Amino acid sequence: MNNDDSGSFPHRRRYPRIVIPNEKSDLHTIIGVNAQIPSGEKVPVLDLSYAGAAILKTASENEKVGEPLPLQFYFEGGLLKPVSAEIVRTSDRAVGLRFGEMSPETRLSFDKIMNDKMLGLNTHRVRTDLLNSRDRRHNLTHWYHGPKDTNIFIWIENEKVVKKFIIEIDYQVIDYDRGEMTFNQTVPETEFFREGYSGYGEVRTSGNVSFSQTELIKRAVNVLTHVLKRGVVIDNVIDVLLKRMKN
């Protein structure tokens, strides 16, 4: 990994893809989604992507890292396709899971949860100290994380002036830095790491992007406007995006 901090944040990075909360105040359940574990109990889902999930830890299950945990997800009472999973991390309150390969039918059923409104409603502010030590060195001030590997990283100065932000939706990236806005794509890698977070690395691509920049900005605004308790900082990010759309 490149240790040079002079470039963009970062060239090659490992963001925590599935957040495993330890503190009760960090627990946010995904609206309308539950997971049925082998005991038959339905438990709240704390985080979810196509690669894995975090679920609330229960007293009825003796979860151990490396063990399989077959799951059945329910969305608004409706049954989704089953998915195989492996436990990759546990905390006092949550269990982090990595999914096996999804069939096209299973992926389509998960798409029901992954629309932009649901992403926004289930995107919450996360403590920046939960980032690994390398990323914390970049003086990040605000981090919001949601399902489907949605991330909003914000740097502010003078309490509320947004000087930089990075928005990730569907591996498409908006990178704003002091008035300049660029667009990138990221490529997920399948190598999971077990120290700290259950997640995977990704590599920033270079060259032309294969998506509409305007459509990505519209999606970002749609997601951000549905973030609950978003506050003035998120509103300021929305303002920057809307101004870009008018130009």
The predicted pLDDT at position 221 comes to 94
The one-character DSSP state at 83 is B
The predicted pLDDT at position 39 comes to 86
Domain count, the chain: 2
Same domain membership, residue 136 and residue 36:
no
Residues 6+ apart with CB under 8 A from 22: 91, 92, 93, 94
User: What confidence category does residue 238 fall into, taking pLDDT thresholds of 50, 70 and 90?
Assistant: very high
Q: In this predicted model, which residue has the larger pLDDT, 164 or 186?
A: 164
The predicted pLDDT at position 160 comes to 77
Rg (CA), the chain: 18
Same domain membership, residue 152 and residue 60:
no
Residue 128 within any structural domain of the chain: yes
Q: In this predicted model, which residue has the larger pLDDT, 190 or 140?
A: 140
The predicted pLDDT at position 20 comes to 58
Same domain membership, residue 151 and residue 51:
no
Q: Which of 44-48, 75-79, 209-213 has the highest mean pLDDT?
A: 44-48
Residue 7 within any structural domain of the chain: no
Q: Is the pLDDT of residue 148 over 60?
A: yes
* Domain span holding position 85: 24-112
Cα torsion angle, 172, 177, 182, 187, sign: negative
Domain boundary among 87, 112, 137: 112
Question: How confident is the model over 10-42, as pLDDT tens digits?
Answer: 333 333 455 555 555 556 788 888 899 888 889
d(CA 183, CA 162): 18
Question: How confident is the model over 66-110, as pLDDT tens digits?
Answer: 899 888 888 877 877 788 899 988 888 888 898 888 888 888 888
What kind and span of H or E run contains 185? Answer: strand 180-192
Q: Is the pLDDT of residue 196 over 60?
A: no
CB–CB of 20/91 below 8 Å? yes
Residue 3 within any structural domain of the chain: no
The predicted pLDDT at position 177 comes to 92
Same domain membership, residue 143 and residue 204:
yes
Q: Is the pLDDT of residue 204 over 70?
A: no
Poorest-pLDDT segment among 4-8, 154-158, 220-224: 4-8
Amino acid code (one letter) for 53: A
- Angle among Cα 59, 149, 139 to the nearest 5 degrees reads 100
Residue 16 within any structural domain of the chain: no
Same domain membership, residue 127 and residue 105:
no
Domain boundary among 70, 97, 112: 112
Q: What is the mean pLDDT of residues 225-230?
A: 87
Q: What is the mean pLDDT of residues 124-143?
A: 72
What pairing do the DSSP bridges indicate for beta strands 172-177 and 161-169?
Answer: antiparallel
Task: Count CB atoms within 10 A of the CB of residue 127.
Answer: 12
Q: Is the pLDDT of residue 211 over 50?
A: yes
Residue 18 within any structural domain of the chain: no
Residue 13 within any structural domain of the chain: no
Domain boundary among 55, 78, 112: 112
Same domain membership, residue 212 and residue 107:
no
Residue 203 within any structural domain of the chain: yes
Q: What is the mean pLDDT of residues 149-171?
A: 88
Helix and strand numbers (H, E) in the chain are 5, 15
DSSP3 helix / strand / coil % (the chain, rounded to 5): 20, 35, 45
Same domain membership, residue 240 and residue 169:
yes
Residue 8 within any structural domain of the chain: no
Q: Mean pLDDT, the chain, as a whole number?
A: 77
Same domain membership, residue 237 and residue 207:
yes
Poorest-pLDDT segment among 74-78, 114-118, 127-131, 163-167: 127-131
Same domain membership, residue 137 and residue 196:
yes
Same domain membership, residue 124 and residue 236:
yes
Structure tokens at 158: 């003078």
Q: In this predicted model, which residue has the larger pLDDT, 97 or 133?
A: 97
CATH at 35: 2.40.10.430
User: What confidence category does residue 161 fall into, taking pLDDT thresholds of 50, 70 and 90?
Assistant: confident
Same domain membership, residue 203 and residue 159:
yes
Same domain membership, residue 235 and residue 134:
yes
